[in-house]
């Protein structure tokens, strides 16, 4: 080896290896998750930092402002439990509004229910572009479906412009920090109620009831004055903080939809699932005692 020689340099023409990089989240004080990944893409949009990693277990991973939003391996756990309980609660699904959901997974699952028209209102077009390039399996072609219409706009403003327009509104937004905070406000929930047809259903992801109790409670408190029936339910998303994840539905009572009705609707719509089942539908509304205790008393309307 000669000093200053090229012994350690990569041969000409060999691809530069991807950047190995750890990423992760703080879940509670002194409690973190760490992922070993390769950073494939990073950019700053007008709204947030967008990163994509390749991970040995979870496949492609999307983070927004360093918080994990979607992974190829576990997206089914989140999208099935966000979409199917609400839409299996409806006898017919015609018009659906999705707020957020830039990775297209929610859109894909909504389309399974046979709607005539789905509007997806996402604030950040860069998220859609990046996901289509790096995680195309999550939308799996949903954006090309002629029933799907994507609007790049503020979801709260968009909802406020519509009346009696949708059978379901599905909020697939970030946590209640930064630009997504408005999606946990009473004003937004009121707009959604007015934008729903009679008998329409609202559902939103509402954070970890164990590690983000404030976010969970904010949703319960601000939905209670707006909707007659507000029903939080639980699922499991391994890459979300703590794993145990809450969603909150409002409108018609979803918890009382019998398993045989759910089964009939899944079958009629030709939907196969990897997480959600008719029995999981009912079970999801059974809250552990500590989650029941978190819920604010519902004010008289």
List the catalytic residues: 172
Q: Helices 186-195 and 213-223 meet at what angle, rounded to 10?
A: 50
Of 4, 7, 11, 30, the one binding a copy of itself (CB under 8 A) is 30
Of 1, 7, 289, 297, the one binding a copy of itself (CB under 8 A) is 289
Residue 292 lies near a copy of itself (rule: CB under 8 A): yes
Residue 260 lies near a copy of itself (rule: CB under 8 A): no
Contact between 99 and 121 (Cβ < 8 Å): yes
* Sheet containing 166-172: order of strands: 148-152, 117-122, 95-100, 166-172, 196-205, 244-250, 230-236
DSSP string over 131-194: HHHH-HHHHTTGGG-TTEEEEES-HHHHHHT-SS-EEEEEEE---SSGGGGGGGSHHHHHHHHH
Q: Which of residues 145-174 bind a copy of itself (CB under 8 A)?
A: none
Residue 29 lies near a copy of itself (rule: CB under 8 A): yes
Q: Please report where in the chains the tokens 């949009």 appear, as a residue.
A: 45
Residue (272 or 300) nearer to a copy of itself, CB = 272
String marking each residue 204-243 x if it binds a copy of itself according to CB under 8 A = ------xx------------------------x-x---xx
Residue 264 lies near a copy of itself (rule: CB under 8 A): no
Contact between 72 and 135 (Cβ < 8 Å): yes
| 3-class state of residue 32 by DSSP | strand
Q: Which tokens is 145 given?
A: 């479906």
Q: Which residues of 182-191 are buried (b: 16+ CB within 10 A; e: fewer)?
A: ebbeeebbbb
Residue (101 or 241) nearer to a copy of itself, CB = 241
Residue (32 or 194) nearer to a copy of itself, CB = 32
Rounded to whole angstroms, how far apart are CA atoms 16 and 264?
A: 53
- Size of site (CB under 8 A) for a copy of itself: 40
Residue (23 or 189) nearer to a copy of itself, CB = 23
Residue 66 lies near a copy of itself (rule: CB under 8 A): no
Residue 286 lies near a copy of itself (rule: CB under 8 A): yes
Residue (184 or 240) nearer to a copy of itself, CB = 240
Of 21, 33, 42, 181, the one binding a copy of itself (CB under 8 A) is 33
Residue (72 or 124) nearer to a copy of itself, CB = 72
Q: Which of residues 1-20 bind a copy of itself (CB under 8 A)?
A: none
| Helix spans in 238-285 (H) | 259-268, 278-284
Specify the stretch interacting with a copy of itself by CB under 8 A; choose among 56-64, 134-142, 188-196, 214-222: 56-64
Residue 28 lies near a copy of itself (rule: CB under 8 A): yes
Q: Kindly state the smallest distance separating residue 235's Cβ from a copy of itself, in Å.
A: 9
Rounded to whole angstroms, how far apart are CA atoms 253 and 263?
A: 17
CA distances from 97 to 89, 120, 171 (A): 16, 6, 8
Neighbours of 204 (CB within 10 A): 26
Which residues neighbour 212 within 8 Å (Cβ) at sequence distance 6 or greater? 175, 241
Of 213, 287, 295, 298, the one binding a copy of itself (CB under 8 A) is 287
User: Which residues contact a copy of itself (rule: CB under 8 A)?
Assistant: 24, 28-37, 55-58, 77, 210-211, 236, 238, 242-244, 273-277, 279-280, 282-290, 292
């Amino acid at each position: 080896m000669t000093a200053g020689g090229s012994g350690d340099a990569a041969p000409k023409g060999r691809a530069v290896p991807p950047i190995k990089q750890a990423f992760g989240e703080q879940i509670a004080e002194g409690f973190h998750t760490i992922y070993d990944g390769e950073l494939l893409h990073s950019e700053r949009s007008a709204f947030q930092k967008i990163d994509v990693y390749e991970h040995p277990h979870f496949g492609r991973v999307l983070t927004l402002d360093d918080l994990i939003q979607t992974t190829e391996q576990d997206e089914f756990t989140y999208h099935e439990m966000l979409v199917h309980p609400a839409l299996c609660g409806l006898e017919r699904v015609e018009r659906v509004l999705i707020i957020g959901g830039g990775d297209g997974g929610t859109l894909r699952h909504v389309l399974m229910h046979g709607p005539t028209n789905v509007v997806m209102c996402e604030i950040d077009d860069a998220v859609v572009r990046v996901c289509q390039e790096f995680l195309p399996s999550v939308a799996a072609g949903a954006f090309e479906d002629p029933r799907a219409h994507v609007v790049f706009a503020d979801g709260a403003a968009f909802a406020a412009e519509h009346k009696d327009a949708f059978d379901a509104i599905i909020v697939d937004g970030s946590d209640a920090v930064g630009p997504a905070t408005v999606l946990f406000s009473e004003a937004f929930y009121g707009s959604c109620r007015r934008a729903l047809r009679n008998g329409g259903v609202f559902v939103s992801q509402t954070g970890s009831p164990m590690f983000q109790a404030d976010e969970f409670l904010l949703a319960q408190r601000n939905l209670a004055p707006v909707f007659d029936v507000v029903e939080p339910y639980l699922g499991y998303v391994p890459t979300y903080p703590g794993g145990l994840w809450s969603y909150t539905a409002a409108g018609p009572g979803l918890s009382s939809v019998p398993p045989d009705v759910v089964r009939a609707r899944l079958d009629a719509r030709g939907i196969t699932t990897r997480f959600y089942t008719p029995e999981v539908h009912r079970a999801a509304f059974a809250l552990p005692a500590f989650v029941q205790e978190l819920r604010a008393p519902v004010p008289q309307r």
